[in-house]
Amino acid sequence: MLVELKVKEFINEVDSPKPAPGGGSVAALSSTLGIALAKMVAHLTFNKKKFLELDDIIRHDYLENFAILTNIKEELVKLIDEDTASFNEFMKALELPKNTEEEIQIRKEALKQATLKAIEVPYKVMLNTVKALEATVKMMPFGSKNAISDIGVGALLLYSGLEGAILNVLINLKGLDDESLVEEYQKACETNLAKGKLLKHQILDYVYETLK
């Protein structure tokens, strides 16, 4: 599994002649690291005097969003490997024989299913990353100001993961001949990209203002 590799091993696995792991797995990793940084700031915030003096409702919401980030991180960790696995399945489908009409149909269906899976994985990364950005926005005003730069770096990583995931959805849509489904995915990508940009800028504006 990719997630079991050491950092250098993962880097070298990407830096190789093999086409996978590629941008999809790296995008999922980027989002995961962004969440890890947001959670790190939360760990540094818990039990601090300023946090403990906050209203109970605010602290409850902060903990709730922390739990949301935890769940998303666990999902994204799985998707790092799932993206590479889906690519490998597509390559296997390409290698299927096509000598008879029956073989052609079997190969065609296998390619369709593999393409749908190759779209579904980065699509999940996209949706989860937007949710993570939303949770980060809600948490950032109450996090430790000593680690505010980490929130900024986390937002950049999350946004990179988001846009990277969208690029992988879009490239795999080229292999789909269902026009209505393609349009549905394209609209979802546009919507989530716009939402992600706003959230990223909201976080970075707050970070830079705090650093003045």
Predicted local distance difference test score (pLDDT) of residue 14:
96
Query: Interior CA angle at 128 toward 55 and 112, to 5°?
Result: 165
- Is residue 173 in some structural domain? yes
Q: What is the pTM of this model?
A: 0.95
12 belongs to a structural domain: no
Is residue 185 in a domain? yes
Structural domain contains residue 200:
yes
* 1 belongs to a structural domain: no
What is the C-alpha separation between 158 and 205, in angstroms, rounded? 16
Burial 109-131 (b: 16+ CB within 10 A, else e): ebbeebbebbbbbbbbbbbbbbb
Q: What H or E segment, with its residue span, contains residue 73?
A: helix 56-94
Q: Which two tokens stand for residue 56?
A: 């109970």
Average model confidence (pLDDT) for the chain? 96
Contacts of 198 (CB under 8 A, 6+ apart): none
Q: pLDDT tens across 118-132, in order?
A: 999 999 999 999 999
Asked if residue 15 is part of any domain, the answer here is no
Note whether residue 179 is domain-resident: yes
Q: Which domain holds residue 196?
A: 22-211
The whole-number pLDDT of residue 129 equals 98
Number of separate domains in the chain: 1
Amino acid, res. 75: E
Q: Contact, 178 vs 116, CB < 8 A?
A: no
Q: What is the CA radius of gyration of the chain?
A: 20
Tell me: the pLDDT tens digits for 25-83? 999 999 999 999 999 999 999 989 999 999 999 999 999 999 999 999 999 999 999 99
Written as one letter, the residue type at 212 is: K
Q: What are phi and psi of 134, to 5 degrees?
A: -65, -45
pLDDT digits (tens, 9 = 90+) for 169-207: 999 999 999 999 999 999 999 999 999 999 999 999 999
CB 118 within 8 Å of CB 62: no
The pLDDT-based confidence of 10 (bands split at 50, 70, 90) is: very high
pLDDT score of 54: 96
pLDDT of residue 34: 98
Report the CATH number at residue 33.
Answer: 1.20.120.680
| Residue 152: band (very low, low, confident or very high) from pLDDT cuts 50, 70, 90 | very high
Classify residue 54: in a domain, yes or no.
Answer: yes
